[in-house]
Amino acid sequence: MITLTDVKKNPQILEFINQTEEAMTALSYTNHGLRHTNIVADRATQIAKSIGLTQREGELAGIAGFCHDMGNFLTRTYHHYFGATLFGQIFNGQFEPKELAVIMQAIANHDKEEMSFTNTISAIVVLADKSDVDRSRVTEKDLEKIKIDIHDRVNYATRESSLKVDKTKKRITLTLKIDTNFCPIIEYFEIFTERMVFCRKAAQFLGYNFGLIINNFRLL
């Protein structure tokens, strides 16, 4: 039975993620390498545990989270589809067919406009991925260049970021602390509104409400 630990040691997966990090850096994107994939994997595993899924379902969520962006080295536009295809090619015959399909679907579903959910793993990966906003994602070192790019600016201004699941209140909440001296909060919504809509849809599929708190103010 393939585990998240096994996937994290797979040389092909690691190389695809490494190549993705180089490709995204060349495009001046925020981090899409091991920093991001490990956070998404850990967060997906924790969400699965918090909502009461089985340990195996948590493993599948973590695996999908770790591999969700690895297709970026081939193309940014269709990276979710390429990532799912690559995963299927690498692990064909090593997972139960349903498990393989669930992981591939979660990877393919995490970043497309016609997003819809038919399994909990897909919804969990969306929440884990779209909630990763933090200054540590910024790869640019020149502060003046960071100020120019809105994605770098918003991520760099985010000093704290956490995602909490309240099983009793059936609420999943993203809490952020944004340095408004570096960028106004409105800029967060300029680039992340669509992602928050994805998070709301994902939470609803899981039977939860989605909440957003920025600088101690509840906005959703």
Residue closest to 182 by CA, chosen among 201, 154, 163, 162: 154
* pLDDT attached to residue 141: 93
DSSP secondary structure letter of residue 158: E
Q: Looking at residue 191, which CATH number applies to its domain?
A: 1.10.3210.10
What's the average model confidence in pLDDT over 95-115? 91
pLDDT tier for residue 153 given thresholds of 50, 70 and 90: very high
- Which of these, 20, 48, 45, 44, lies nearest to 34 by C-alpha position? 20
pLDDT above 80 (res 115): no
H/E stretch holding 199: helix 185-205
pLDDT over threshold 70, residue 112: no
**pLDDT, position 220:** 87
Cα 41 from Cα 107, distance rounded (Å): 12
Per-residue pLDDT averaged across 2-30, rounded?
97
- What span, in angstroms and rounded, lies between the C-alpha atoms of 89 and 94? 10
In percent, the amount of the chain with pLDDT more than 70 equals 99
pTM for this predicted structure:
0.96
Total count of domains within the chain? 1
Per-residue pLDDT tens for 62-102?
A: 999 999 999 999 999 999 999 999 999 999 999 999 999 99
What pLDDT shows up at residue 81? Answer: 95
- Domain containing 190 equals 4-218
The confidence band for 111, taking pLDDT boundaries of 50, 70 and 90, is confident
Asked if pLDDT for residue 37 goes beyond 80, the answer is: yes
**Structure-token pair, residue 183:** 């960028």
Residue 149 in this model has a pLDDT that exceeds 80: yes
What angle do helix axes 150-157 and 185-205 make, rounded to 10 degrees? 80
